[in-house]
Structure 1
Amino acid sequence: MTRDSGGPGTPGTDPQQLWLSPEQPRRGRRPGFSREAITAAAVALADAEGLEAVTIRRVAAQVGAGAMSLYSYASDKETLLELMVDHVSGELPASAPLTGDWRADLKTIGHRQRDLMLRHPWLPTALSTRRSPGPNTLAFLEHALAALRPTGLDGAAKLEVFAQLTAFVAGHVTYEITQAAAAESPDRAAAEARYLATVAADGHHPELAEALAAPARAVTPEATFTRFLNRLIDGLATD
Protein backbone atom coordinates (compact mmCIF):
# COMPACT_ATOMS: atom_id res chain seq x y z
CA MET A 1 0.00 0.00 0.00
CA THR A 2 1.49 3.31 -1.04
CA ARG A 3 1.11 6.61 0.72
CA ASP A 4 -0.30 9.67 -0.99
CA SER A 5 2.50 11.81 -2.33
CA GLY A 6 2.66 15.42 -1.36
CA GLY A 7 0.92 15.05 2.00
CA PRO A 8 2.17 17.14 4.93
CA GLY A 9 2.52 14.15 7.25
CA THR A 10 5.63 12.05 7.73
CA PRO A 11 5.67 8.25 7.43
CA GLY A 12 4.88 6.45 10.63
CA THR A 13 2.41 7.26 13.34
CA ASP A 14 2.95 7.76 17.05
CA PRO A 15 0.39 5.33 18.49
CA GLN A 16 0.06 7.26 21.72
CA GLN A 17 -0.75 10.43 19.83
CA LEU A 18 -3.12 8.60 17.50
CA TRP A 19 -5.10 6.60 20.06
CA LEU A 20 -4.75 8.43 23.38
CA SER A 21 -4.90 12.07 22.30
CA PRO A 22 -8.33 13.58 21.71
CA GLU A 23 -9.34 14.46 18.19
CA GLN A 24 -7.90 17.87 17.33
CA PRO A 25 -9.47 19.52 14.27
CA ARG A 26 -8.00 22.71 12.92
CA ARG A 27 -8.93 26.06 14.38
CA GLY A 28 -11.70 28.09 12.85
CA ARG A 29 -15.16 27.05 11.75
CA ARG A 30 -16.05 23.57 12.93
CA PRO A 31 -15.88 21.17 9.96
CA GLY A 32 -18.92 19.18 8.90
CA PHE A 33 -17.11 15.87 9.35
CA SER A 34 -15.22 13.96 12.03
CA ARG A 35 -12.40 11.43 12.16
CA GLU A 36 -15.06 8.74 12.53
CA ALA A 37 -16.83 9.92 9.36
CA ILE A 38 -13.56 10.06 7.45
CA THR A 39 -12.64 6.55 8.56
CA ALA A 40 -16.08 5.17 7.68
CA ALA A 41 -15.83 6.74 4.21
CA ALA A 42 -12.40 5.19 3.69
CA VAL A 43 -13.69 1.76 4.75
CA ALA A 44 -16.65 2.01 2.38
CA LEU A 45 -14.32 2.96 -0.46
CA ALA A 46 -11.97 0.04 0.27
CA ASP A 47 -14.90 -2.38 0.52
CA ALA A 48 -16.19 -1.28 -2.87
CA GLU A 49 -12.97 -0.76 -4.84
CA GLY A 50 -10.03 -2.16 -2.85
CA LEU A 51 -7.20 -0.55 -0.93
CA GLU A 52 -5.60 0.99 -3.99
CA ALA A 53 -8.66 3.20 -4.40
CA VAL A 54 -8.17 4.71 -0.94
CA THR A 55 -6.36 8.02 -1.14
CA ILE A 56 -6.69 11.14 0.96
CA ARG A 57 -8.16 12.94 -2.04
CA ARG A 58 -10.76 10.25 -2.76
CA VAL A 59 -11.82 10.09 0.88
CA ALA A 60 -12.01 13.88 1.06
CA ALA A 61 -14.31 13.86 -1.94
CA GLN A 62 -16.49 11.23 -0.25
CA VAL A 63 -17.07 13.46 2.80
CA GLY A 64 -17.31 16.65 0.77
CA ALA A 65 -14.11 18.25 1.99
CA GLY A 66 -10.84 19.50 0.61
CA ALA A 67 -7.90 17.11 0.86
CA MET A 68 -5.87 19.50 2.99
CA SER A 69 -8.60 19.66 5.63
CA LEU A 70 -8.27 15.91 6.23
CA TYR A 71 -4.60 16.02 7.19
CA SER A 72 -5.39 17.25 10.70
CA TYR A 73 -7.35 14.03 11.22
CA ALA A 74 -5.15 11.59 9.29
CA SER A 75 -1.69 12.91 8.52
CA ASP A 76 -1.01 10.35 5.77
CA LYS A 77 -2.44 7.25 4.17
CA GLU A 78 -0.74 4.91 6.64
CA THR A 79 -2.46 6.71 9.51
CA LEU A 80 -5.75 6.42 7.68
CA LEU A 81 -5.17 2.69 7.31
CA GLU A 82 -4.51 2.39 11.06
CA LEU A 83 -7.88 4.04 11.66
CA MET A 84 -9.62 1.78 9.14
CA VAL A 85 -8.30 -1.44 10.68
CA ASP A 86 -9.41 -0.43 14.15
CA HIS A 87 -12.76 0.81 12.85
CA VAL A 88 -13.73 -2.55 11.36
CA SER A 89 -12.31 -4.37 14.40
CA GLY A 90 -15.19 -2.77 16.28
CA GLU A 91 -17.44 -5.30 14.51
CA LEU A 92 -15.85 -8.13 16.47
CA PRO A 93 -17.80 -9.14 19.62
CA ALA A 94 -15.20 -8.42 22.26
CA SER A 95 -17.59 -9.03 25.15
CA ALA A 96 -19.05 -12.36 23.96
CA PRO A 97 -19.20 -14.97 26.76
CA LEU A 98 -16.45 -17.59 26.89
CA THR A 99 -17.07 -21.29 27.52
CA GLY A 100 -13.85 -22.03 29.39
CA ASP A 101 -12.89 -24.58 26.72
CA TRP A 102 -9.99 -22.64 25.22
CA ARG A 103 -9.83 -24.61 21.98
CA ALA A 104 -13.56 -24.17 21.34
CA ASP A 105 -13.35 -20.49 22.22
CA LEU A 106 -10.34 -19.99 19.97
CA LYS A 107 -12.16 -21.67 17.08
CA THR A 108 -15.09 -19.31 17.58
CA ILE A 109 -12.68 -16.37 17.52
CA GLY A 110 -11.15 -17.69 14.28
CA HIS A 111 -14.57 -17.95 12.62
CA ARG A 112 -15.43 -14.42 13.69
CA GLN A 113 -12.17 -13.12 12.28
CA ARG A 114 -12.88 -14.89 8.98
CA ASP A 115 -16.37 -13.40 8.79
CA LEU A 116 -14.91 -9.94 9.37
CA MET A 117 -12.24 -10.37 6.70
CA LEU A 118 -14.74 -11.66 4.16
CA ARG A 119 -16.89 -8.57 4.78
CA HIS A 120 -13.79 -6.41 4.29
CA PRO A 121 -11.59 -8.27 1.76
CA TRP A 122 -8.86 -5.62 1.98
CA LEU A 123 -8.26 -6.38 5.67
CA PRO A 124 -5.82 -9.32 5.25
CA THR A 125 -3.56 -7.10 3.16
CA ALA A 126 -3.85 -4.28 5.67
CA LEU A 127 -2.80 -6.64 8.46
CA SER A 128 0.28 -7.82 6.58
CA THR A 129 2.33 -4.92 7.94
CA ARG A 130 2.76 -3.91 11.56
CA ARG A 131 -0.20 -2.03 13.00
CA SER A 132 -0.54 -0.30 16.36
CA PRO A 133 -3.67 -1.65 18.10
CA GLY A 134 -6.39 0.91 18.64
CA PRO A 135 -9.19 0.64 21.22
CA ASN A 136 -11.37 -1.80 19.25
CA THR A 137 -8.41 -4.01 18.40
CA LEU A 138 -7.25 -3.99 22.01
CA ALA A 139 -10.72 -4.95 23.23
CA PHE A 140 -10.77 -8.03 21.00
CA LEU A 141 -7.19 -8.90 21.93
CA GLU A 142 -8.20 -8.77 25.59
CA HIS A 143 -11.07 -11.15 24.77
CA ALA A 144 -8.71 -13.57 23.00
CA LEU A 145 -6.19 -13.50 25.84
CA ALA A 146 -8.99 -14.25 28.30
CA ALA A 147 -9.97 -17.23 26.14
CA LEU A 148 -6.40 -18.51 26.42
CA ARG A 149 -6.17 -18.13 30.21
CA PRO A 150 -7.08 -21.81 30.86
CA THR A 151 -4.02 -22.90 28.87
CA GLY A 152 -1.62 -21.74 31.55
CA LEU A 153 0.63 -20.29 28.86
CA ASP A 154 2.67 -17.24 29.78
CA GLY A 155 1.78 -13.86 28.35
CA ALA A 156 4.27 -13.94 25.51
CA ALA A 157 3.08 -17.37 24.38
CA LYS A 158 -0.58 -16.29 24.45
CA LEU A 159 0.25 -13.29 22.28
CA GLU A 160 2.08 -15.60 19.87
CA VAL A 161 -0.91 -17.96 19.64
CA PHE A 162 -3.25 -15.10 18.86
CA ALA A 163 -0.84 -13.74 16.24
CA GLN A 164 -0.55 -17.23 14.72
CA LEU A 165 -4.33 -17.58 14.56
CA THR A 166 -4.81 -14.16 12.99
CA ALA A 167 -2.09 -14.81 10.41
CA PHE A 168 -3.70 -18.16 9.52
CA VAL A 169 -7.15 -16.62 9.09
CA ALA A 170 -5.78 -13.74 6.98
CA GLY A 171 -3.87 -16.14 4.74
CA HIS A 172 -6.83 -18.46 4.35
CA VAL A 173 -9.23 -15.65 3.49
CA THR A 174 -6.79 -14.43 0.85
CA TYR A 175 -6.78 -17.98 -0.54
CA GLU A 176 -10.59 -18.10 -0.47
CA ILE A 177 -10.88 -14.85 -2.38
CA THR A 178 -8.40 -16.06 -4.99
CA GLN A 179 -10.23 -19.39 -5.36
CA ALA A 180 -13.57 -17.64 -5.73
CA ALA A 181 -12.14 -15.54 -8.55
CA ALA A 182 -10.70 -18.67 -10.21
CA ALA A 183 -14.09 -20.41 -9.98
CA GLU A 184 -15.46 -17.79 -12.31
CA SER A 185 -13.36 -19.46 -15.03
CA PRO A 186 -14.67 -23.08 -15.15
CA ASP A 187 -12.65 -23.89 -18.27
CA ARG A 188 -9.40 -23.20 -16.40
CA ALA A 189 -10.50 -25.29 -13.42
CA ALA A 190 -11.37 -28.21 -15.71
CA ALA A 191 -8.01 -27.90 -17.46
CA GLU A 192 -6.16 -27.97 -14.13
CA ALA A 193 -8.12 -31.08 -13.06
CA ARG A 194 -7.21 -32.86 -16.31
CA TYR A 195 -3.57 -31.90 -15.86
CA LEU A 196 -3.39 -33.26 -12.30
CA ALA A 197 -5.12 -36.48 -13.35
CA THR A 198 -2.55 -36.96 -16.11
CA VAL A 199 0.37 -36.30 -13.77
CA ALA A 200 -1.04 -38.64 -11.14
CA ALA A 201 -1.29 -41.43 -13.70
CA ASP A 202 2.26 -41.16 -15.01
CA GLY A 203 3.71 -43.48 -12.35
CA HIS A 204 6.21 -40.92 -11.08
CA HIS A 205 3.99 -39.34 -8.42
CA PRO A 206 2.54 -42.19 -6.34
CA GLU A 207 1.88 -40.04 -3.27
CA LEU A 208 -0.07 -37.53 -5.33
CA ALA A 209 -2.00 -40.33 -7.04
CA GLU A 210 -2.98 -41.78 -3.67
CA ALA A 211 -4.01 -38.38 -2.35
CA LEU A 212 -6.18 -37.63 -5.38
CA ALA A 213 -7.81 -41.07 -5.16
CA ALA A 214 -8.95 -40.49 -1.57
CA PRO A 215 -12.69 -39.94 -0.96
CA ALA A 216 -13.76 -36.38 -1.65
CA ARG A 217 -14.54 -34.11 1.29
CA ALA A 218 -16.94 -31.22 1.54
CA VAL A 219 -15.38 -28.39 -0.40
CA THR A 220 -17.59 -25.48 0.60
CA PRO A 221 -15.52 -22.52 1.81
CA GLU A 222 -16.97 -22.82 5.32
CA ALA A 223 -16.26 -26.57 5.60
CA THR A 224 -12.72 -26.19 4.26
CA PHE A 225 -11.92 -23.35 6.64
CA THR A 226 -13.33 -25.29 9.59
CA ARG A 227 -11.16 -28.33 8.83
CA PHE A 228 -8.02 -26.24 8.53
CA LEU A 229 -8.82 -24.24 11.66
CA ASN A 230 -9.52 -27.38 13.67
CA ARG A 231 -6.18 -28.90 12.65
CA LEU A 232 -4.36 -25.75 13.66
CA ILE A 233 -5.99 -25.29 17.07
CA ASP A 234 -6.30 -28.96 18.03
CA GLY A 235 -2.58 -29.31 17.39
CA LEU A 236 -1.55 -26.46 19.68
CA ALA A 237 0.37 -27.59 22.74
CA THR A 238 0.31 -25.83 26.08
CA ASP A 239 3.59 -27.07 27.55
Structure 2
Amino acid sequence: MVRKQAEEYATVWERPEPVERPVLSSLSRDRIVRAAIELADAEGLGAVSFRRIAGVLEAGPMRLYGYLATKEELFDLMVDAVYAEIVPANTSASGWRARLTEIAHRTRETALRHDWLVDLFGGRPNIGPNGLAFHEASLAALDEVAGFEQVDTMMDAIGAVHGYVLGAVRAEVTERRAERATGMDEQHWQQANGAYMTKMLATGAYPMLARVVEDASHPAPGTAFTARLEAVLDGIEARFRTA
Protein backbone atom coordinates (compact mmCIF):
# COMPACT_ATOMS: atom_id res chain seq x y z
CA MET A 1 0.00 0.00 0.00
CA VAL A 2 2.78 2.43 0.92
CA ARG A 3 4.70 1.60 -2.26
CA LYS A 4 1.53 2.11 -4.32
CA GLN A 5 0.97 5.50 -2.70
CA ALA A 6 4.60 6.48 -3.28
CA GLU A 7 4.27 5.63 -6.97
CA GLU A 8 0.96 7.48 -7.30
CA TYR A 9 2.25 10.72 -5.78
CA ALA A 10 5.52 12.14 -7.02
CA THR A 11 6.69 13.68 -3.75
CA VAL A 12 6.13 13.24 -0.04
CA TRP A 13 4.71 16.77 0.13
CA GLU A 14 1.85 15.77 -2.19
CA ARG A 15 1.03 12.42 -0.59
CA PRO A 16 -1.97 12.47 1.78
CA GLU A 17 -1.50 11.21 5.32
CA PRO A 18 -3.33 8.04 6.41
CA VAL A 19 -6.54 8.35 8.39
CA GLU A 20 -5.76 7.83 12.08
CA ARG A 21 -7.67 5.31 14.17
CA PRO A 22 -8.90 6.82 17.49
CA VAL A 23 -7.65 3.87 19.56
CA LEU A 24 -4.05 4.62 18.59
CA SER A 25 -1.81 7.45 19.75
CA SER A 26 -2.07 10.38 17.37
CA LEU A 27 0.55 10.63 14.64
CA SER A 28 1.24 13.08 11.84
CA ARG A 29 4.16 13.83 9.56
CA ASP A 30 4.78 16.99 11.54
CA ARG A 31 5.03 15.09 14.85
CA ILE A 32 7.34 12.52 13.27
CA VAL A 33 9.59 15.19 11.78
CA ARG A 34 9.74 17.20 15.01
CA ALA A 35 10.71 14.09 16.96
CA ALA A 36 13.40 13.30 14.38
CA ILE A 37 14.81 16.83 14.61
CA GLU A 38 14.96 16.64 18.41
CA LEU A 39 16.81 13.32 18.18
CA ALA A 40 19.26 14.70 15.62
CA ASP A 41 19.85 17.84 17.70
CA ALA A 42 20.57 15.78 20.80
CA GLU A 43 22.50 12.83 19.39
CA GLY A 44 23.34 13.51 15.75
CA LEU A 45 21.86 12.33 12.48
CA GLY A 46 23.00 8.75 13.11
CA ALA A 47 20.54 8.49 15.98
CA VAL A 48 17.56 9.08 13.70
CA SER A 49 15.73 5.88 12.84
CA PHE A 50 12.09 4.93 12.49
CA ARG A 51 12.43 2.67 15.51
CA ARG A 52 13.85 5.45 17.73
CA ILE A 53 11.23 7.93 16.58
CA ALA A 54 8.45 5.39 17.13
CA GLY A 55 9.72 4.89 20.68
CA VAL A 56 9.63 8.61 21.38
CA LEU A 57 6.10 8.88 19.99
CA GLU A 58 4.94 5.66 21.68
CA ALA A 59 3.90 4.13 18.40
CA GLY A 60 4.79 0.99 16.49
CA PRO A 61 7.61 1.53 13.95
CA MET A 62 5.49 0.14 11.11
CA ARG A 63 2.91 2.90 11.62
CA LEU A 64 5.49 5.45 10.55
CA TYR A 65 5.65 3.85 7.12
CA GLY A 66 2.10 4.99 6.55
CA TYR A 67 3.45 8.55 6.61
CA LEU A 68 6.90 8.09 5.08
CA ALA A 69 8.15 5.52 2.61
CA THR A 70 11.90 5.92 3.26
CA LYS A 71 14.40 7.56 5.60
CA GLU A 72 15.42 9.81 2.69
CA GLU A 73 11.90 11.27 2.70
CA LEU A 74 12.24 11.88 6.44
CA PHE A 75 15.52 13.70 5.90
CA ASP A 76 13.93 15.83 3.17
CA LEU A 77 11.13 16.82 5.54
CA MET A 78 13.59 17.55 8.36
CA VAL A 79 15.62 19.87 6.14
CA ASP A 80 12.49 21.58 4.89
CA ALA A 81 11.25 22.15 8.45
CA VAL A 82 14.56 23.78 9.37
CA TYR A 83 14.47 25.98 6.25
CA ALA A 84 11.47 27.66 7.89
CA GLU A 85 13.86 29.00 10.54
CA ILE A 86 16.08 30.58 7.87
CA VAL A 87 13.55 32.50 5.78
CA PRO A 88 12.26 35.48 7.77
CA ALA A 89 8.51 36.05 7.77
CA ASN A 90 9.23 39.76 7.55
CA THR A 91 12.46 41.58 6.81
CA SER A 92 13.56 45.16 7.26
CA ALA A 93 16.71 44.58 5.19
CA SER A 94 16.93 47.07 2.34
CA GLY A 95 19.08 46.50 -0.74
CA TRP A 96 20.38 43.30 -2.29
CA ARG A 97 23.53 43.11 -0.15
CA ALA A 98 21.62 43.53 3.10
CA ARG A 99 19.03 40.93 2.12
CA LEU A 100 21.60 38.33 1.08
CA THR A 101 23.60 39.11 4.22
CA GLU A 102 20.52 38.49 6.37
CA ILE A 103 19.85 35.15 4.67
CA ALA A 104 23.51 34.14 5.05
CA HIS A 105 23.60 34.93 8.77
CA ARG A 106 20.28 33.22 9.42
CA THR A 107 21.58 30.15 7.56
CA ARG A 108 24.69 30.08 9.76
CA GLU A 109 22.73 30.55 12.98
CA THR A 110 20.26 27.82 12.03
CA ALA A 111 23.00 25.38 11.04
CA LEU A 112 24.75 25.94 14.37
CA ARG A 113 21.50 25.18 16.20
CA HIS A 114 21.02 22.03 14.11
CA ASP A 115 24.58 21.01 13.23
CA TRP A 116 23.40 17.84 11.44
CA LEU A 117 22.01 20.15 8.75
CA VAL A 118 25.41 20.50 7.06
CA ASP A 119 25.41 16.75 6.39
CA LEU A 120 22.23 17.16 4.32
CA PHE A 121 22.98 20.49 2.65
CA GLY A 122 24.18 20.59 -0.93
CA GLY A 123 23.36 18.47 -3.94
CA ARG A 124 19.87 18.74 -5.35
CA PRO A 125 17.81 21.63 -3.98
CA ASN A 126 15.18 20.93 -1.36
CA ILE A 127 11.80 21.35 -3.09
CA GLY A 128 9.59 21.43 -0.01
CA PRO A 129 7.57 24.62 0.55
CA ASN A 130 10.13 26.13 2.93
CA GLY A 131 13.07 25.15 0.73
CA LEU A 132 11.36 26.78 -2.23
CA ALA A 133 10.71 29.89 -0.11
CA PHE A 134 14.42 30.02 0.76
CA HIS A 135 15.48 29.92 -2.89
CA GLU A 136 12.74 32.38 -3.84
CA ALA A 137 13.90 34.86 -1.18
CA SER A 138 17.51 34.55 -2.34
CA LEU A 139 16.62 35.23 -5.97
CA ALA A 140 14.15 37.97 -5.06
CA ALA A 141 16.99 39.88 -3.39
CA LEU A 142 18.46 40.46 -6.85
CA ASP A 143 15.20 41.07 -8.72
CA GLU A 144 15.23 44.34 -10.66
CA VAL A 145 18.74 45.16 -9.45
CA ALA A 146 21.02 46.66 -12.10
CA GLY A 147 23.59 44.14 -13.28
CA PHE A 148 21.45 41.11 -12.48
CA GLU A 149 18.94 41.31 -15.31
CA GLN A 150 19.92 37.89 -16.65
CA VAL A 151 18.73 34.85 -14.71
CA ASP A 152 22.09 33.11 -15.23
CA THR A 153 23.84 36.11 -13.65
CA MET A 154 21.50 35.91 -10.66
CA MET A 155 22.21 32.20 -10.33
CA ASP A 156 25.97 32.79 -10.46
CA ALA A 157 25.76 35.41 -7.71
CA ILE A 158 23.46 33.35 -5.47
CA GLY A 159 25.61 30.28 -6.05
CA ALA A 160 28.73 32.16 -4.95
CA VAL A 161 27.08 33.36 -1.73
CA HIS A 162 25.52 30.02 -0.85
CA GLY A 163 28.74 28.19 -1.73
CA TYR A 164 30.70 30.40 0.64
CA VAL A 165 28.12 30.07 3.41
CA LEU A 166 27.97 26.28 3.12
CA GLY A 167 31.76 25.93 3.20
CA ALA A 168 32.18 28.34 6.12
CA VAL A 169 29.41 26.78 8.19
CA ARG A 170 30.61 23.24 7.46
CA ALA A 171 34.11 24.18 8.67
CA GLU A 172 32.70 25.76 11.84
CA VAL A 173 30.47 22.78 12.59
CA THR A 174 33.39 20.39 12.00
CA GLU A 175 35.49 22.36 14.49
CA ARG A 176 32.72 22.21 17.08
CA ARG A 177 32.36 18.46 16.58
CA ALA A 178 36.11 18.03 17.03
CA GLU A 179 35.92 19.96 20.30
CA ARG A 180 33.16 17.67 21.56
CA ALA A 181 35.00 14.53 20.44
CA THR A 182 38.40 15.45 21.89
CA GLY A 183 37.42 17.72 24.75
CA MET A 184 39.87 20.32 23.40
CA ASP A 185 38.82 23.71 22.09
CA GLU A 186 40.93 25.48 19.46
CA GLN A 187 43.16 27.16 22.05
CA HIS A 188 43.93 23.88 23.83
CA TRP A 189 44.52 22.15 20.48
CA GLN A 190 47.02 24.85 19.54
CA GLN A 191 48.78 24.47 22.89
CA ALA A 192 48.95 20.69 22.48
CA ASN A 193 50.51 21.04 19.03
CA GLY A 194 52.53 24.18 19.72
CA ALA A 195 55.93 22.54 20.08
CA TYR A 196 55.53 20.59 16.85
CA MET A 197 54.38 23.65 14.91
CA THR A 198 57.26 25.75 16.27
CA LYS A 199 59.74 23.11 15.11
CA MET A 200 58.19 22.83 11.66
CA LEU A 201 57.99 26.59 11.09
CA ALA A 202 61.60 27.00 12.24
CA THR A 203 62.72 24.99 9.20
CA GLY A 204 61.84 27.96 7.00
CA ALA A 205 59.86 25.73 4.63
CA TYR A 206 56.53 27.39 5.47
CA PRO A 207 57.09 31.17 5.48
CA MET A 208 53.48 32.07 4.72
CA LEU A 209 52.14 29.82 7.46
CA ALA A 210 54.64 31.39 9.83
CA ARG A 211 53.15 34.79 9.02
CA VAL A 212 49.68 33.47 9.77
CA VAL A 213 50.73 32.06 13.14
CA GLU A 214 52.65 35.18 14.14
CA ASP A 215 50.63 38.04 12.64
CA ALA A 216 47.04 36.97 11.94
CA SER A 217 44.39 38.33 14.34
CA HIS A 218 42.47 35.01 14.41
CA PRO A 219 39.03 36.62 14.91
CA ALA A 220 36.04 34.87 16.44
CA PRO A 221 34.07 32.68 14.00
CA GLY A 222 31.19 35.13 13.71
CA THR A 223 33.52 38.03 12.99
CA ALA A 224 35.44 36.05 10.39
CA PHE A 225 32.19 34.88 8.77
CA THR A 226 30.97 38.46 8.38
CA ALA A 227 34.26 39.79 6.99
CA ARG A 228 34.60 37.00 4.44
CA LEU A 229 30.95 37.29 3.41
CA GLU A 230 31.55 40.98 2.73
CA ALA A 231 34.51 40.05 0.53
CA VAL A 232 32.31 37.65 -1.46
CA LEU A 233 29.65 40.34 -1.91
CA ASP A 234 32.32 42.86 -2.94
CA GLY A 235 33.51 40.43 -5.59
CA ILE A 236 29.97 39.89 -6.87
CA GLU A 237 29.37 43.62 -7.06
CA ALA A 238 32.64 44.24 -8.89
CA ARG A 239 32.02 41.45 -11.40
CA PHE A 240 28.35 41.91 -12.22
CA ARG A 241 27.26 45.41 -11.26
CA THR A 242 30.15 47.24 -12.94
CA ALA A 243 30.47 44.97 -15.97
TM range (shorter): 0.7 to 0.9
Deviation at 1:138, TM superposition (A): 1.1
Number of positions where the alignment pairs a residue of Structure 1 with one of Structure 2: 229
After superposition, the Cα gap between the structure-2 partners of 1:123 and 1:182, relative to the gap in structure 1 and judged at 3 Å, is closer
Deviates more, 1:95-104 or 1:221-230: 95-104
User: Residue 191 of structure 1 corresponds to which residue in structure 2?
Assistant: 192
Question: Which amino acid in 1 is paired with 2:46?
Answer: E
**Residue correspondence of structure 1 range 112-127 to structure 2 within 5 A:** 112-127=106-121
User: Residue 11 of structure 2 corresponds to which residue in structure 1?
Assistant: 17
SS at match of 1:90: helix
Q: Supply the distance in 2 between the matched residues of 1:38 and 1:83 (Cα, whole angstroms).
A: 10
User: Residue 76 of structure 2 corresponds to which residue in structure 1?
Assistant: 82
User: Residue 233 of structure 1 corresponds to which residue in structure 2?
Assistant: 233
Ranges in structure 2 where 5+ consecutive residues have no aligned partner: none
Question: Which amino acid in 2 is paired with 1:38?
Answer: I
1:80-130 superposed Cα distances (whole Å, 9 cap, x missing partner): 000100011111234433644212221221101000100100001011443
Deviates more, 1:52-61 or 1:222-231: 222-231
Q: Supply the distance in 2 between the matched residues of 1:72 and 1:93 (Cα, whole angstroms).
A: 30
Identity %: 34
Deviation at 1:37, TM superposition (A): 0.6
TM-score w.r.t. length of structure 2: 0.81
Q: Supply the distance in 1 between the matched residues of 2:83 and 2:60 (Cα, whole angstroms).
A: 28
Q: CA RMSD in A?
A: 2.8
Question: Which amino acid in 1 is paired with 2:192?
Answer: A
Is it true that 1:38 corresponds to 2:32 in the alignment?
A: yes
Is it true that 1:173 corresponds to 2:163 in the alignment?
A: no
Highest RCO, 1 vs 2 (Cα 8 Å, sep ≥ 6): 1
Q: Supply the distance in 1 between the matched residues of 2:39 and 2:230 (Cα, whole angstroms).
A: 34
1:115-167 superposed Cα distances (whole Å, 9 cap, x missing partner): 01001000010114435321111112211111122242422342343344333
Deviation at 1:16, TM superposition (A): 4.2
Q: Supply the distance in 1 between the matched residues of 2:227 and 2:9 (Cα, whole angstroms).
A: 37
Q: Supply the distance in 1 between the matched residues of 2:159 and 2:8 (Cα, whole angstroms).
A: 22
Deviates more, 1:176-185 or 1:46-55: 176-185
**Residue correspondence of structure 1 range 1-239 to structure 2 within 5 A:** 16-21=10-15, 23-26=16-19, 29=22, 32-97=26-91, 99-149=93-143, 150=145, 151-183=147-179, 184-185=183-184, 187-214=188-215, 216-217=216-217, 219-236=219-236, 237-238=239-240, 239=243
